[in-house]
Chain A
């Protein structure tokens, strides 16, 4: 048991131990955290307020709270499954821990405990914030309610944890089956993005209905009521955590939680322990042979060789670049949903002339998003940066090749997006051509801006996969969103005054100037700056 406790303490230190930082940055972090938390609470309050208004008077506050607690429990279950896979089934520290004079079972147990502690913290944060806000929104927040929330937060992780012990194993098997099937994973990822946007669109349209048109669709309200009642059924195991909020059926709820935990966790342990042993052994043996692909040698020139290499790296890395490739492919779908939503809101406020401006706003934002990682083009190389310096291809040529690749992806996403909004008659044909021209120039501007930024502030300490989400990418994202607001906002405002031709000139001029400024900076100073980088 001592070994378990020691390992547990070590993990806690690694996860939550404080890093050396000065007082100023600690204070700044604290302020940012508090502000972020307050914003989240406010958003929760607004969203929950709208949802609660959708429910009919026939539902009690307890029924609504039970349904919400089920959402908290569902989130905890997903978190628990992810944690199981990350810490137990794909342990990164297995090479180190295997050297300790500790049995694999102790490690297994310590990891499980770590997951449970982690889950309890998530449970407390989620239950107290979300259910607390619900209590305020429904007017049932009292001291007793708060005590009930604390009890529910403590009991909350029990069933999600037990479920995750069983579910994590098949999930991991599926993930292992997909290992190195990069196109399948990309496809699933894109489906996920689309599903997210469909949900997002649904919720936002519902809120737009509520705030702008002051209407609640009967169909939607009925659906919500039915859902709430279903979630209050005794067959929903999460009801037994929600019961603690109101101190109802406490004895029975405890027994149910304990019984479900005993059965699921017992079964889960029986399944997970041998899997853990196998996974651990596999990890100890190394990754040899994890990826094997027969390829032919080619007579490629530098351009196609670099493009192929970049593409292979993106597909095999599964980090940010992969994520952004997914976004690029899913852009037309997202543009469609965003356009429909913004048009719906805009038309109510401004009128039909808003369509062109909203399209520019949305597409510029996505062009920025797709190209944000151009600000990581040098940092991405990390410790392999020297390779870009020894090859007999000038830096300008290397980056031109990479920008061509980014531009190809942007152009593809743009073409399909414009086809979608054109076919659905969101905008006129003439406007489509303006959008394509302006957005292609903007995409090129974003790419060059990203390069210029990164060549001045490279970060080369990262190893292997290379992708780092650093300050450069955040800056590029901010610049992109500002341009989106500037171009889209100008188009919306001026189109309202029927000055559409003027809009074309202004946004074209802004895009051209942005591109030219960055092109001049790139072609006059980037090579010199690059050569002065000392890896």
Chain B
């Protein structure tokens, strides 16, 4: 079932001469994990911020679980969980207060909050710090609390911008597992990453963004079974690969 769709999406920032994203079309079904790959400034974050409702856009359509983000913004956003690349949160709150706030915003009841928070905090080894103010958290801990806050409402579409940055190997493995589990429950996950190894291991499909355009979408299974050299293709797309 189609969970997330981008149709003819283009985005030009106010005052900019060039499009940061141009005529992008992408479909992600339930159970799928889609990786967005591209060099710095390729337009991944623009795409991600637009699909979560942060950036306004005037061209194209973004459909989330059947809701048009522009026309039915509130309903569409109820189906999205977002983890930003800079993990900025309300750092005057404690970790538990932040997760409670995010849950309340999505109408999550206390019991469900408790169950998800207990489980994820244990998996991320964050239980001991839940009642500490977030401003005292390390880089990785902030990323973890962001992730918990983003999926406390069990979103249909989980969007992550560079989720692995700053995480220790154990937490990275947990996040990758979590992404797969979330998709396996009938949801979909879209994430951007510079780490091709993570993309190779986690994704079902890989979308390559080059200079604001969707260059190609490939099946990640072909990468995993050795029929496709992901690193070489990435370099080639970005014009840096010399044979």
Contact = CB atoms under 8 A, between A and B. Distances in A.
Interface string B202-233: 00000000000000000000000000000000
B125 interface: no
Interface residues of A, number: 42
Contacts of B49: 386, 535
Given A295-B97, A295-B100, A392 B78 contact: yes
A316 interface: yes
Nearest to A287: B136
A86 interface: no
Given A293-B94, A295-B97, A393-B74, A532 B56 contact: yes
Contact of A391 (B75, B97, B99, B105): B105
Interface in B112-156: 113-114, 117, 131-133, 135-136
Contacts of A251: none
A57 interface: no
A170 interface: no
Contacts of B105: 302, 305, 391-393
B54 A386 contact: yes
Nearest to B102: A391
A391 B56 contact: no
A534 B13 contact: yes
Contacts of B110: 297-299
Interface string B29-48: 00000000000000000000
A390 B80 contact: yes
Contacts of A27: none
Contacts of B88: 383-384, 386, 463
A1 interface: no
Given A298-B110, A531-B56, A535-B54, A288 B136 contact: yes
A96 interface: no
A292 interface: yes
Nearest to A314: B92
Interface in B70-113: 73-75, 77-78, 80, 82, 84, 86, 88-94, 96-97, 99-107, 109-110, 113
Contacts of B60: none
A317 B104 contact: no
A313 B93 contact: yes
B92 A317 contact: yes
A312 interface: yes
A288 B136 CA distance: 5
B14 interface: yes
Contacts of A387: 89-90
B93 A312 contact: yes
A312 B92 contact: yes
B63 to A, nearest CB: 16
Contacts of B82: 386, 390
B10 interface: no
B94 A290 contact: no
B61 interface: no
Nearest to A464: B91
A465 interface: yes
Given A305-B105, A384-B88, A392 B74 contact: yes
Interface of B: 13-14, 49, 52-56, 73-75, 77-78, 80, 82, 84, 86, 88-94, 96-97, 99-107, 109-110, 113-114, 117, 131-133, 135-136
22 contacts: A290-B135, A291-B136, A293-B94, A293-B131, A295-B100, A297-B100, A298-B104, A301-B104, A305-B104, A309-B93, A313-B92, A386-B88, A387-B89, A389-B52, A390-B54, A392-B105, A393-B105, A464-B135, A465-B92, A532-B56, A533-B56, A535-B49
Report the 5 A-B pairs with minimum CB-CB distance, sorted nearest first: A305-B104, A291-B133, A392-B77, A392-B78, A391-B105
Given A316-B133, A383-B86, 5 more contacts: A293-B131, A384-B90, A386-B49, A387-B90, A392-B74
